[in-house]
């Protein structure tokens, strides 16, 4: 019966559009101790919720009493021709790269943000699959579904379930899907035979370490989030450290450099769930147009997208940094207006950007 239930769950997951469906136990991942050491070192930065929920993340019984199994799911957000144009080129130092892919007029967003918010897209099929699990399990079965939001060490559970392996950049890599994956989980009191884990397949490759602009990957399998551009442009709520601003380049929401260079991406395939929700205009938005957005304009422009999470103050802070790095003198009037913004975070970064542009102009004259 157990094998039949697993097969039925996997079949239902496929019908609902999930690209991978694997099973593991609810036991704490072997990496639980490393996770606590990472927190103790402060490498999580201002993401205090990670520390607050540490006990739950390392003991799923505190999340769902009686939990026996975890159903690990993955959805590909790879596109054959990625919405929004080419990604920011990788760098090997802490200076912005010189490349014809760079434009003073446009910013760069992470690939996952070039879609309707995946939480909304995945919530309906995940809810349907969770209901199916309860139905297949029978009376008394209880299950909880999460999409990148629950107190779960989802990456490590996904590796143990065989969805993929954790790469040297600390992200999950699938042999069938590359790096471009959204993860979801269902915790259930139903006891299901676990699938085998995936072993690490990075070999001697260190492309991701070499590509990281800020050296946030301090060693293989070790990330200092406080230096990561995704953290700096999304999670960090205050000023971006001065020494890291130049290397951010024109990235305004996230960074894909360590993901984009992974050789396993050559096996990536498009998924059915996310492709219809691609938003091409989110890939390389005009920086000066973003800088002109008021609060209502920001909410209207980014409603239903991951970028809304940054809030106006965060996104425009990032836009100012990007303009400071890549803009020419034509951006100075807009930056000078932004320097008088009532929102002090935006104003401070606009003043910094004005200084950067002015210095660049004087060097060229």
Radius of gyration of the chain (CA): 22
pLDDT on residue 104: 57
Predicted pLDDT at 80: 82
Query: Using an 8 Å Cβ cutoff, are 48 and 304 in contact?
Result: no
- Could you list the active site residues? 148
Task: Give the rounded distance of the alpha carbon of 227 from its chain centre.
Answer: 15
pTM of the predicted model, to two decimals? Answer: 0.90
Residues of the chain with pLDDT under 70: 1, 81-104, 364-365
Q: How many CB atoms lie within 10 A of CB 237?
A: 12
**pLDDT score for 149:** 81
The predicted pLDDT at position 86 comes to 39
Based on the number of CB atoms within 10 Å of its own CB, is 106 exposed (0-12), middle (13-18) or buried (19 or more)? buried
Q: Provide the pLDDT for residue 92.
A: 35
What are the structural domain ranges in the chain?
1-101+111-245+253-279
């Amino acid at each position: 019966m157990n094998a039949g239930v697993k097969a039925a769950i996997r079949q239902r997951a496929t019908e609902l559009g999930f690209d991978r469906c694997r099973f593991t136990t609810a036991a704490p991942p072997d990496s639980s101790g490393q996770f606590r050491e990472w927190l103790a070192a402060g490498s999580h930065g201002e993401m205090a919720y990670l520390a607050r929920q540490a006990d739950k993340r390392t003991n799923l019984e505190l999340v769902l009493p009686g939990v026996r199994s975890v159903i690990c799911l993955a959805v590909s957000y790879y596109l054959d021709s990625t919405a929004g144009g080419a990604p920011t080129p990788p760098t090997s130092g802490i200076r912005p790269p010189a490349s014809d892919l760079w434009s003073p007029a446009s910013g760069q967003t992470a690939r996952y943000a070039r879609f309707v918010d995946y939480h909304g897209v995945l919530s309906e099929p995940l809810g349907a699959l969770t209901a199916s699990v309860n139905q297949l399990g029978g009376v008394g079965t209880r299950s909880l579904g999460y999409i990148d939001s629950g107190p779960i060490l989802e990456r490590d559970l996904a590796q143990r379930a065989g969805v993929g392996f954790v790469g040297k950049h600390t992200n999950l890599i699938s042999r069938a899907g590359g790096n471009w994956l959204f993860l979801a989980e269902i915790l259930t009191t139903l006891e299901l035979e676990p699938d085998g884990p995936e072993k690490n397949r990075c070999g001697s490759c260190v492309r991701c370490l070499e590509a990281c602009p800020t050296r946030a990957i301090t060693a293989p399998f070790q990330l200092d989030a406080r230096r990561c551009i995704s953290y700096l442009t999304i999670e960090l709520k205050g000023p971006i450290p001065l020494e890291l601003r130049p290397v951010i380049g024109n990235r305004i929401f996230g960074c894909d450099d360590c993901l984009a260079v992974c050789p396993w991406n050559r096996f990536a395939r498009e998924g059915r769930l996310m492709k219809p929700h691609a938003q091409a205009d989110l890939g390389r938005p005009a920086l000066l147009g973003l800088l002109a957005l008021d609060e209502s304009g920001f909410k209207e422009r980014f409603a239903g997208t991951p970028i809304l999470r940054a809030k106006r103050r965060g996104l425009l802070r990032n836009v100012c940094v990007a303009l400071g790095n890549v803009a020419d003198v034509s951006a100075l009037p807009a930056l000078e207006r932004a320097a008088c913004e009532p929102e002090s975070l935006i104003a401070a970064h606009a003043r910094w950007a004005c200084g950067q542009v002015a210095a660049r102009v004087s060097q060229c004259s």
